[in-house]
Amino acid sequence: MSDTHPIRDEDLIAFRSGALGERAREAMAARIAADPEAQATLAEWDRQDAALAALYGPVAEEPLPEALRARLAAAGTAPRRHPALALAAAVALLAIGAATGWFAALSTQPGPPVLTVAESALKAHVTYVAEVVHPIEVASDQADHLAQWLSKRLGHEIKAPDFGAEGFRLMGGRLLPGDTTPAALFMYEDDTGRRLTLHVLPEGGTQNSAFQFLSSGQTQGFYWHDTGLSYAVIGDLDRDRLRAIAMAAYDQLI
Amino acid sequence: MSLLDEIEAAIPNLRRYAHALLRDRDSADDLVQDCLERALSRRHLWRGDGPVRAWMFRILLNLHRDGLRRSPRRHLVAVDTLPKEPSGPAPQEAHMDLREVQDAIGRLPEDQRRALLLVALEGMRLSEAAAILDIPEGTLVSRLGRARAALRDMTGRTRPATGSKEGRA
């Protein structure tokens, strides 16, 4: 190939960094195959890249430093989209709950409807999570039917959110009695058999509420109210995980 | 993936790049922290045009330039004053001495280092790297050519064949 002009470094750079079309790339590959000097240059660049990867590659595999993780976590719970996570309110309620017991705390609250979902959700959770034979009425393999049926009975379009990222898969759902309209219960299970429930109740007016925390012994949950529907997520999980699941539900149900 | 997830997913790459750019763990992580802060505070302006990763690299490089303007404490060492590798057979096939490469990266002019690391370390295509650096692709290519050659000289390696006549007496 002594009759062709030598391959310039610029040509090799374009070749290596994906800037050539298919035909130009094939043509350049053929020229390189006949040019030991170009091959040596590419091999030298490979060694440079390998040295850089050896020097700095491991940084990308490290867990993120605490300061970065804290900043991301704060952004993830920022009140921009989520219902404010008014933790002050939740903590206050928790304090009351701790002092007097959950149901006592409920009974002393003047009755905004959002508390109805919390109380009935907790009762239903305790009742059905312990059920071995019939925890649900319609299983997740009939997910479409489940969503249609519950939507029709509640008079609202509802669907079961996906908590796969949190390690929980949908088992199915059931219809629950309510004061004025029925409520829906979705049950989820992780691979250790731990269960959590999501309750949806069509009541409470049009105003939205912050996430509220509730607890009764090991059983804890978050409930909130969003454009005509009240929700509660209940489980025997720690608060941070429950909150993550509640936020996943909020994001998917919005 | 939400924008926040994409921001988070870009961080390991940003840290790798910042560490190579600054060669100092603390200042690299400070730079990434500032980058994250700026990205989060501006995420409501994000219109979804283009990859989040490229957007964050642009933020990081802007911060890096700003920081250099504020504290121009880094100095460049002219290539020809660098100690050459001790005489002896050139280890062309061997792995490169990592410390030597690290030093050489530190001695590259800033614009060459930024460009080379985007392509050689982050594996970006020319079009992506050129967009991040806000330069034409042709400019990037010649910059990369100079950086590659300078790195080769600084690590005591001469161009095979013709180049060896100049490099070694």
Smallest CA-to-CA distance from A201 within A153, A148, A134 is with A153
Answer for the pair B113, A67: CB distance below 8 angstroms, yes or no: no
Show residues of chain A in contact with B127, CB under 8 Å: 19
Which of the four pLDDT bands, split at 50, 70 and 90, describes residue A79? Answer: very low
pLDDT digits (tens, 9 = 90+) for B47-102: 676 789 999 999 899 888 877 655 544 433 334 333 344 444 444 445 678 888 99
Best probe of the A interface among B142, B144, B162, by most A CBs < 10 A, is B144
Of A112-116, A169-173, A182-186, B147-151, minimum mean pLDDT range: A112-116
Angle, CA A28 vertex, CA B91 and CA A30 arms, to 5°:
85
The sheet that has A195-201: what strands, in order across it?
Answer: A138-139, A169-176, A183-189, A195-201, A229-235, A219-226, A212-216
Which of the four pLDDT bands, split at 50, 70 and 90, describes residue B160? Answer: low
- Is A50's CB within 8 Å of B121's CB? no
Length of chain A: 254
The residue with greater pLDDT, A98 or A25, is A25
Q: How many CA atoms are closer than 13 Å to the CA of A53, on its beta-carbon side?
A: 11
Show residues of chain A in contact with B151, CB under 8 Å: 48
- The single-letter code of the amino acid at B139 is T
Query: What are the DSSP E strand ranges found in chain A?
Result: 138-139, 169-176, 183-189, 195-201, 212-216, 219-226, 229-235
Q: Chain A 69-98, CB below 8 Å of chain B: which residues?
A: 71-72, 75-76, 80
Which of the four pLDDT bands, split at 50, 70 and 90, describes residue A28? Answer: very high
Candidate from A10, A68, A72 with C-beta closest to B142: A10
Which pTM value belongs to this model? 0.53
Beta carbons within 10 angstroms of residue A172's beta carbon = 20
- Is A13's CB within 8 Å of B126's CB? yes
Answer for the pair A220, A235: CB distance below 8 angstroms, yes or no: yes
Nearest-by-CA chain A residue for B164: A37
Instruction: Tell me the nearest-neighbour CA distance from A179 into chain B, angstroms.
Output: 38
Answer for the pair B157, B166: CB distance below 8 angstroms, yes or no: no
The residue with greater pLDDT, B164 or A175, is A175
